[in-house]
Structure 1
């Protein structure tokens, strides 16, 4: 008697969906990390620019240079805001794919648990059949001796 799990196709489909979800999640994590790294670099650059500007102000700057620096910092601040929005978007995307991955993982575990129980029931059935066959053989041997 050969064991055949009745939900094997569904289980393999769920495992495939889980693998695809894992791939999408990993890509979303990488995208988030990339955007976060860009934001970090922009914030670091802003900090360096502010330090540099403070040093220049101590040394003395013309009004034109101060305006130029302020304009440059405003543009830099807009870039930072852009990257902050991108980080938020990619974090939300990453969390969304993580939630899907968790759901797919739970589905696969349910099917694995069902398969485990089905295998156990199959093995019990096989053992019962073997015991019946052994009983029949024992009865036949007993009858042939008598």
Structure 2
């Protein structure tokens, strides 16, 4: 008599779904990191440009160069605003996937706990039936020795 878990297919399906959600979560983390790195690079570029401009202003700079640098900084700020929105979206997506992964972990653990409890009942039943057989054999041996 071998043990078979009645919800084994469901458990396998839930584990597969959990793995798919885990992969989606990892992808969302990678996308978030890429966008955040791009935002960081833009912020760094803006900071470097502002430092460069302030150094040039102290030594003298033409109005046209000032205007050119200011336009460039304005464009970088617009790009920064855009990437900040993307970072927020990516973070929200990543948090959503993290929540789904957490839910799937709980779901799988429920089925694993059911399987564990079911296996414990099975072993108890097996032990009990084995004990009954041994008791019956002992009674039969005793009866045979008496006769």
- Distance in structure 2 (CA, Å) of the matches to 1:120 and 1:102: 27
Q: Which residue of 2 aligns with 1:126?
A: 126
- Distance in structure 2 (CA, Å) of the matches to 1:31 and 1:52: 31
Aligned residues: 146
Q: Which runs of 5+ in 2 are unaligned?
A: none
Matches within 5 A, 1:1-146: 1-146=1-146
Shift of 1:84: 0.7
Q: Which runs of 5+ in 1 are unaligned?
A: none
- Distance in structure 1 (CA, Å) of the matches to 2:102 and 2:69: 48
Question: Normalized against structure 1, the TM-score is what?
Answer: 0.98
Deviations 1:46-77 (A, max 9, x none): 10000000011111111111111111110010
- Distance in structure 2 (CA, Å) of the matches to 1:77 and 1:114: 55
Shift of 1:145: 0.9
Q: Which portions of structure 1, spanning 4 or more consecutive aligned residues, are displaced by more than 4 angstroms?
A: none
DSSP-derived class of the 1:65 partner? helix
Q: Alignment RMSD, CA only? A: 0.6
